[in-house]
Structures are given as C-alpha cells and as structure tokens.
Amino acid sequence: MQSTISIQIDRNIDDVFRLTHQHVAQWSIIVIEDEVIEEKPGGVGTTFRTVTEDHGKRMEFAGVVTRHEPPYVHAVHMTGDMFDIDAEYVFNESKGRTRVTQRANVTGKGIFRWFMLLFGWMMKRSHSKASELEMQSLKKFCETAA
C-alpha cells in the first residue's frame, strides 16, 4: 500500500528538517517511543527503535535510516512483526516556508499480507486519513516549537 501526502509549514527548511526527524515522538499522533540505537556518521545506517500505538494496539519496529541528505531528504526502513514500512520525507523551501512531502509504502507480512490484498481499499482510506492527521500534527509542532 503506497501513499503520498504534502503539507506547507510556515518555518524555514533547516528547522523543519531537524524537528521532523529528531522529534518524531513529540509530533506524531501514533509514535509513543522513538529511540536511536546506534548513530552512524552522516546518518545513513543509523538504527533506531520505534513503538507505535493506534486504537489501543502497540507495535514495535526496528528501523534504519536509508537516506539522509540535510535539509532535503530523510528516509527510513522500519521492520515490524505484521508489516514493514518505507517512509521518505522530502523538504522544499520557498520564501521561508517549507513543503514537506511524505511518501510511504507499507508491505504486509504473513496473513496480514493477504488481509491487505483483500481489504486494501478500506485500509488505504483509513491510512490516508491517518497520514493527513500526522502531517497536520507535524505542521502544528514545527510552527510552535522553539
């Protein structure tokens, strides 16, 4: 399941880039823990652990940074029990404002993979709404954080 969503943030690109990937648990509505395990020079290869909670269901993901080009691109691959997520954030600045575009690809595993194939259209609608809420939360956080 793939999705793309963008939002305009009233803040400069350097701040938005930093706040987006260094403070995920503070702005995300589903990430409740985000911990760096091993930081690599230049960012790529840095490993982390993320815990999400959605509708009372907790999931843990092992993550790795796959692309880190400040202040323009930050991408990760996260591996979970039921599915894997590839997420990329692209940042573009214009006149002191920053457009953030999130591209995500969720790949189901085991029985969840079949569930996604059968009910993917319903899940995509729900995922789109959740992504929209996440981006609105990111905007609010970036525009108010010090």
pLDDT in tens, the chain (146 residues): 788 999 999 999 999 999 999 999 999 999 999 999 999 999 999 999 999 998 899 999 999 999 999 999 999 999 999 889 999 999 999 999 999 999 999 888 876 654 555 555 445 555 567 788 999 999 999 999 97
The CATH T-level fold of domain 2-127 is Alpha-D-Glucose-1,6-Bisphosphate; Chain A, domain 4 (3.30.530)
The confidence score (pLDDT) of residue 121 equals 47
Q: How many other CB atoms are found less than 10 A from the CB of residue 16?
A: 26
Q: What is the pLDDT of residue 9?
A: 98
85 touches 77 (CB < 8 A): yes
* Whether residue 70 has a cis bond before it, omega within 30° of 0: no
